[in-house]
Structures are given as C-alpha cells and as structure tokens.
A and B are shown apart, each in its own frame.
Chain A
Amino acid sequence: MSDMRYLHRADLPTLFSAIREAGYRLIGPREETGQGGLVYREIDGVEDLPQGVRDSQAPGHYRLVKTGSARCFAWANTASAIKPYLYAPREKLWRAVRKDGRVHFEAVEREAAKTAILGVRACDLAALELQDAHFLQGAYVDPYYKARRERLLLVAVNCTHAADTCFCASTGDGPAAREGYDLLLDELEEGYLLRVGSERGAMIAADLPLQPASAAQQAEASAQSEACARQQQRALPSQQRLQQLDALLEDARWTRIAERCLSCGNCTAVCPTCFCHREFEVPALDGKSTEHWRDADSCFNEDHSYIVGEVVRHGSRERYRQWMTHKLFNWVPQYGRIGCTGCGRCTTWCPASIDFVLEANVLLGLAAAPEVELPHVDGSEAAE
C-alpha cells in the first residue's frame, strides 16, 4: 500500500481545479430539490458536495438526514446511478434525408465532452464494467457509448456508510472499489487517502499537494470499510445458489409478487446495469428528413415483448420473473457474472416496496415470506 497518499480536506479544492485544468467538466453528487435525494450533476466546487448529509433508505423510501459531520461522502448512494452519463436514456442515433426520391443516411457524430465523475461508488463501478461488456465487448460496438466512455475520468470514493438497502458485500462488488477507477479516495475524519488506478488518474494526482499516508490513516480506512460491510443487513445468496432459480420458474411466489408489482419499471430505470432500449422515429415537420432515436425501455413494458398477435410476457408475474431471472442468473452465461451489483436502488425506488433481495431469498427457501405483503401506504415513509 505504499502507493497511498494523503490529501487534507482543506486541499480538496485542488482536486477540483486539477480535474478542471485537465479539461474535464465535473460531475458529482449533489442534493437536488425535486429529485428525491442525491444525484450526479454538474458541480462547481466543494461547496456543492453533500457535506454532513447521510441517506436513510428502506424499501420504497429515501430521505436525506443532516448529521453535521464534515464528511462529504458519508452517504451510501445516489437516486440515479452514473449510467446516464455513458448510456444516455434518450439519444439520437442517426438522421435520414429524403431528396430526389432517394434516402441518405447520416450518423450522428457525437463529440463527447471530457467528463469527470467524482464520488463514484464501488457498486456503480462494477455496473459500469457490465455495461462496458454489453455495449463495447460484443460483436458490435455501440459508437455513442464508446465516445463517452473514452473521455471519462472516474474518481471513486469508498463507502463508509451502508444504507439499509445495500448488499454489495454479498455480490462481491463493495463497499470498497477494487478496480475500474482512475483515482480512488477513502474519506477520513480529516481528509482523504488517495490511490491512483490509471495513467489518466496519475496525471491529476501529480498536481495535488499530497503527503505520504500514515499507517494509522490506512488502518482507519480499512476499519471503516470493514464496518460498512458488516453494517449491511441484506445478502444475496451465492451465484451457484441463485442458479437454482432456474428450477423455480413456475413457483407460486411469482404470483404473490405480481399481486403487488405495478409493472411501473422504476426498478429497471434506476438499475445501473439495465440496458434495454427501444428505437423510434421523429420525422421533421417539413417532411424532408427524419431522425432515428432510442429511448431507455423496460421489460416491465407491454411492448417490450410484443410480437405480432401476442405479448409474450403478458402480465406482472412474467415481467417480474424476467427482471429477476435476468439479473440473478441469465446474466451469468451472457456476461460471466450476475447482473446485480448490490446497490439496492430497485428496492428503494419501488413504489410497492418490493424487496428484491428478500424475494430472491424467499424464492430459494432461504427466508420466510413477510406476513404483511401490502404496499407501504404510510405517508411519512414516502420518498422526499
């Protein structure tokens, strides 16, 4: 761990200026009214960081709590992941122009802005790796995703505080980041431990007033991380155990879940690994050209599995089963691991408070079904 350095909290602004000077626009966690919690948005300086703020999460519930601490990263995760900065929820793919009876196709050449994201969590980094596998490492490369991915700088921060919905320790993705970052921070009481993960990160680190990290500081960081893992109350069974869901596709439990599921698609919208999208046309009013777009889509939508004459997954039972089995075992043959990195967002943002981890455990006979299975209606529990 000789490569660990220390940055005093008072010097945190130098990280901002080093990133800016390298030509990146800076995205970070900030409290945004109307977004229901922390979100990744453009930030100007340290004053925009959520200092002294913690998140309280539960199924169907997200609230920010003031703690008065000097820490800026003592929360678990944001409402939306970093996914929208790579895989845009809505995007123009190409344009067709009609002229003299012919049709000309023009790709949208997207000059992606150099983007730095500060405060990235281990679960989201792991999810990004899965999105890379999906959009970049198959037979066909997505040029839109690629353009943004190549100009990305990731400054990850290890978690010190787990929400009640977190379970990244059980998926092996957190709370400490293992790889995939350019810079990695551990937030301590007085400042930050910093590790470099790439050439790009090293260039930024070279501009910072770093000091050697003491053994005591390193011990503090490890202790925090271990405590954060221990704090997690939920756990997904092992990948091998999850494989047994394959034999439970007709289990009665799916119907019990469907009685509560609204097929709203919130879970797929907030999930950092979901990749589904639909394509559509936006013809120009003058009739001379038309644009071809794509929009994030969800397997909870009726048209997701529509083929002439039928909707293959016709109800919530079939759709929740698709969502869970895709995440928890069909992803394995597709991309070599499960498609869930333990962020807990699908559970937090479910309006019917369906608990993803609990349901997987109930299906596998590892947990008892809760006695009361009605959606939360208590107003004070609603996300703020």
Chain B
Amino acid sequence: MKPANPYLPWEAEIVDRIQETPDIFTWRLRFTDREVARQYGFKHGQFNMLYLYGVGEVAISVMSNEGEELLHTIRAVGRVTRAMMELKVGDHIGVRGPFGSAWPLDVARGKDIVFVTAGLGCAPVTSSIKHVVANRADYGRLVIMQSVRHRNEGLWEPQYDEWRSLPDTQVLLTASRDKTRWPHWHLGRVSVLLDEAQYDKQNCVVMMCGPDQMMADTSRTLVDLGVPGESIHVSLERNMQCAVGHCGHCQLGQHFVCKDGPIFTWPQVAELMRVKGY
C-alpha cells in the first residue's frame, strides 16, 4: 500500500498493551482510518515505522496483523522506545509501512525449517515462527534455536514449551552467561545447539536474526556443515530514518537495508559482513 506522501504516517490507536518484561512491551494497534486498516497487509519479516508524537520514529517488525489489528513488540532501549513505553491504552501514535523484504515462507513449503535467534532481537522471526506453527503440515521438521545471555531474559518461555510439544519439532535454548543449567537449556552460544539440531541440510530454509557477528558465525558454520548459502536468510538492522530508500543511513555496501532488506540471503551479504565497520 503506497500513500502519495511516503513520509506521512497514518494515525493508529493503542487498543491493548502488555508489559512482557520490565523493558519489553507489546502493543495492539488499530488504524483510526478504516480504509487504511482494510488495505494494510504485511508479509512476515517486514517492518513498520512507528512514530511517537514530538519524539520521533523507529523501525519495528510487524508481529502480526490479525483482523484489522497490528501487533508490535518493542524493547525500550533509547530515546524513542523508552518514551513509547510510557504510553497507555487509548493513546495515539503514527504508523508507516509495511517496508522491506520478507522471509521466504512460500519457497520454504515442504522443507525443513530452522530458526536461529540470539539476544532479544527475535522480534523479526517471531511472526514467522507463528506462521509455521499455525501451518505446521505445510512444512517439514521445525527447529527453533534461541540464545540469550541469561535464562531470565528468555521471552515467552511458555510459548517455547508449547512449540516443543509439536510433532517433528525441536526447541533448543541456550544461555551464554548463566552458570546453572536448567532443564531444556544449554550453556554457551548458539553454536553449541547446532550439533543437536536435526534437519535435512540439503532441503531446509534457515531464518536468522540477532547480532551481526552471531549471524555471520552461524551462517559460516552452517555452510561448512553442508547447508547451501542460498538457503540461509538473515535479518539485518541498520540505522533507519526514512525506510523508503532515500535517507541513505541504512546502507551496507550496495544494499539499502530498508528496501533491499532487512532480510537477505547469506550470499548477498557474506562478503560485506566479513569487513569490519563497513
């Protein structure tokens, strides 16, 4: 959906708000213009620009778009997102979107699905995990690997338990800085989980998000293990001002992360991610 002025947000109301952890909250939003609500549609992996009156805009992945409502999960980390955490149900914000590329959920049909996430940057894949779970029969094995620093940062742990009980599904969790090993939890980085994951390396789709270094390391390991580079997809984050390919802030080599990404195949960015500070 493309407005005449791509910089101008639409108004949306916060119709529900959940405090997930001390600094993470979820908004359920509804566009006040019914026509906008009706026409809005997103693909898993895309993002919106959310605007807070008088403060600014930030890029936030779309979690879901149920009926005419939008779900966003936001971590309060800085100027805009901290101020956003103060808003209440009934408050109004601005929304532009959706922007960017999507996860290859169509090509992934019939294949084994591997999700790898680290830190709390899991928002961009959560919507697509939910899609695969909801359409479980369309896909092969499902492997979800998540690493956090401490287990108590593990968002949505009950959900992981629920996913673990699905057929042909593995949920592998690791805490990189904890000392105690909890049931279902490993100690260390994502790499410790790769040995245990069972999936068809020649016939899988990998979807990954988290810090650049983790994604680069994991992608290289997967390629060494025999997964074709083209089957690996990463979601990148760069500074974003406009989201429409104009402000230049999100550039990574030849790519504009806002329009060519945020989701890239590993070969598109493998060389670029090798160069520190590029």
Is B249 a contact partner of A305 (Cβ separation < 8 A)?
yes
What sequence of 0s and 1s flags, for each residue 160-185 of chain B, a beta carbon within 8 Å of any chain A beta carbon?
00000000000000000000000000
B220-278, CB < 8 A from A: 237-239, 241-242, 244-249, 251, 253-254, 256, 259, 275, 277-278
In the assembled complex, the CB of B113 is this many whole angstroms from the nearest CB of chain A, namely 28
Given contacts A277-B246, A321-B278, 20 further A-B pairs with CB under 8 A are: A93-B7, A94-B7, A101-B90, A101-B91, A103-B92, A103-B94, A135-B246, A140-B2, A142-B6, A275-B247, A279-B241, A279-B247, A281-B54, A299-B248, A303-B239, A307-B237, A317-B277, A330-B253, A330-B254, A332-B254
**B2 / chain A contacts, CB cutoff of 8 Å:** 139-140
In the assembled complex, the CB of B203 is this many whole angstroms from the nearest CB of chain A, namely 31
Q: List 19 A-B contacts (CB under 8 A).
A: A93-B7, A93-B8, A96-B54, A101-B91, A107-B5, A139-B2, A139-B244, A140-B246, A143-B4, A250-B275, A277-B248, A279-B57, A281-B55, A297-B247, A303-B239, A304-B239, A308-B77, A321-B278, A325-B253
Interface size, chain A (Cβ < 8 Å): 54
How far, in angstroms, from A304 to B248 measured CA to CA in the complex?
9
What sequence of 0s and 1s flags, for each residue 238-276 of chain A, a beta carbon within 8 Å of any chain B beta carbon?
000000000001100000000000000000000000111
How far, in angstroms, from A303 to B237 measured CA to CA in the complex?
14
Q: Is B110 engaged at the interface, CB distance under 8 Å to the other chain?
A: no
What sequence of 0s and 1s flags, for each residue 125-164 of chain B, a beta carbon within 8 Å of any chain A beta carbon?
0000000000000000000000000000000000000000
**B51 / chain A contacts, CB cutoff of 8 Å:** 96
**A294 / chain B contacts, CB cutoff of 8 Å:** 241, 247
| Closest chain A residue to B12, Cβ basis | A103
What sequence of 0s and 1s flags, for each residue 175-200 of chain A, a beta carbon within 8 Å of any chain B beta carbon?
00000000000000000000000000
Q: Is A151 engaged at the interface, CB distance under 8 Å to the other chain?
A: no
In the assembled complex, the CB of A356 is this many whole angstroms from the nearest CB of chain B, namely 19
**A102 / chain B contacts, CB cutoff of 8 Å:** 11, 32, 92
Known: A280-B56, A303-B239, A322-B278. A140 touches B6 (CB 8 A): yes
B249 contacts which of A93, A139, A297 (Cβ < 8 Å)? Answer: A297
Which 7 pairs between the two chains have the least Cβ-Cβ distance?
A276-B248, A318-B277, A140-B244, A140-B6, A290-B54, A283-B54, A333-B254
Is A330 a contact partner of B251 (Cβ separation < 8 A)?
yes
Interface size, chain B (Cβ < 8 Å): 42
Is B11 a contact partner of A104 (Cβ separation < 8 A)?
yes
B38-96, CB < 8 A from A: 51, 53-57, 77-78, 90-94
Interface contacts (Cβ under 8 Å), in number, total 123
| Closest chain B residue to A97, Cβ basis | B53
Q: Is B25 engaged at the interface, CB distance under 8 Å to the other chain?
A: no
Known: A104-B11, A140-B244, A141-B6. A98 touches B249 (CB 8 A): no
| Chain B interface residues toward A at CB < 8 A | 2, 4-11, 32, 51, 53-57, 77-78, 90-94, 237-239, 241-242, 244-249, 251, 253-254, 256, 259, 275, 277-278
